[in-house]
Amino acid sequence: MSNTKAPQDTCVLVTGGAGFIGSHTVVCLLEQGYQVVIVDDLSNASEKVLDRIDQIVGPEAAERLSFYRADVTDREALDCIFDAEPVDAVIHFAGFKAVGESVQKPIEYYSNNIGSTLTLVDAMREHGCKSIIFSSSATVYGDPDALPLTEESPKKPATNPYGWTKWMIEEILRSLVVADPEWDVVLLRYFNPIGAHPSGLMGEDPKGIPNNLLPYVAQVAVGRRDAVHVFGDDYDTPDGTGVRDYIHVMDLAAGHVAALAWMAGKTGCEVFNLGTGTGTSVLEIIKAFSAACGRELPYVIEPRRAGDVTANWADCAKAREMLGWEAQYDIADMCRDSWNWQSHNPNGYEG
């Protein structure tokens, strides 16, 4: 990407663009005038997302969106896409993402997440595209020594194969920049994305039993599940339950667009935390969601889960100062929008 390219002249390839965070980012990109190419194999997403994106952005913006159903590990498919589309930059979301499943299926996780990244950046290199934003995670910080976490906080050994894939992909992308200083890499370390598009047309739609707290709470609220399972109430936190930095998916999407605008024409590798800077406990989330849906949600206390840390939250000063980005939504907003999505789409995109 050159310094002078306006959004309307910039083509962004979004891997995993039909997924939860990817789809919301695609909406933001289209609303800012970018040309967008989604590559998604729909293994953990619904094709109906594409119709919802069109509804949200309108017919004129929707004309700037292309979709390819393809696996990012498929080099031949990627070459065809890069040959057909004038890609200037890539936002890389695609990957398996269930922590528990990664422990059961480590080979599949390493093969898919790392393999797809290697295939992608090799195809990018061959086609002269060297700008990439990677969807990383606060899991790379492990069990923190001190809070809040800054980008200078040490990376710790991961507690599961999913976390290790994020950890290793960061190192792969850093190595690219060392080997070829023309690369322009941004690593975005997310904290805990929740919420949904305020329209209620798009939200998180996990297949099977949700691995994350918020979709599980939402499914309890809509009657699909009996009670929220709270893993551990004996942590060293104000109410004994784990504390996390929850961020609205629309704030997260805006962070990607801000990073894309900031990196235009630069080279090197930069890391940014994306969170709110505020920690919220599991019980506080349940209480906030109960307020959003208008009834007390039942929960049961279970033993701690292996690998869960007591607390983490972000220091996001770097993103504020360098990207001009700051989270706008609070926990009440996140729960309101999640409930709006789930109550209008009780079975996700399938009903």
Q: Is residue 156 part of a domain?
A: yes
Q: Is residue 242 part of a domain?
A: no
Q: Is residue 345 part of a domain?
A: no
Give the structural domain span for 168. Answer: 10-196+247-275
C-alpha dist (Å) from residue 292 to 20, 33, 342? 21, 33, 12
In the block, tokens 């923190």 appear at: 144
Catalytic pick among 162, 190, 216, 299: 162
Separation between Cα atoms, residue 116 and residue 296, nearest integer Å: 43
Q: Is residue 264 part of a domain?
A: yes
Pick the more confident residue, 296 or 2.
296
Q: Is residue 268 part of a domain?
A: yes
Q: What is the pLDDT of residues 134-191, one digit of tens each?
A: 999 999 998 899 999 999 999 999 888 999 999 999 999 999 999 999 999 999 999 9
Please state the domain count of the chain: 1
Separation between Cα atoms, residue 291 and residue 336, nearest integer Å: 9
Q: Is residue 159 part of a domain?
A: yes
162 is catalytic: yes
Separation between Cα atoms, residue 2 and residue 8, nearest integer Å: 13
Separation between Cα atoms, residue 295 and residue 312, nearest integer Å: 29
pTM of this structure = 0.97
CATH number of the domain enclosing 121: 3.40.50.720
Distance from first CA to last CA of the chain, Å, rounded?
Answer: 41
Residue 333 is classified by DSSP as H
For the chain, percent of residues with pLDDT exceeding 70:
99
Q: Is residue 315 part of a domain?
A: no
Q: Is residue 176 part of a domain?
A: yes
Q: What is the pLDDT of residues 2-13, one digit of tens each?
A: 456 899 999 999
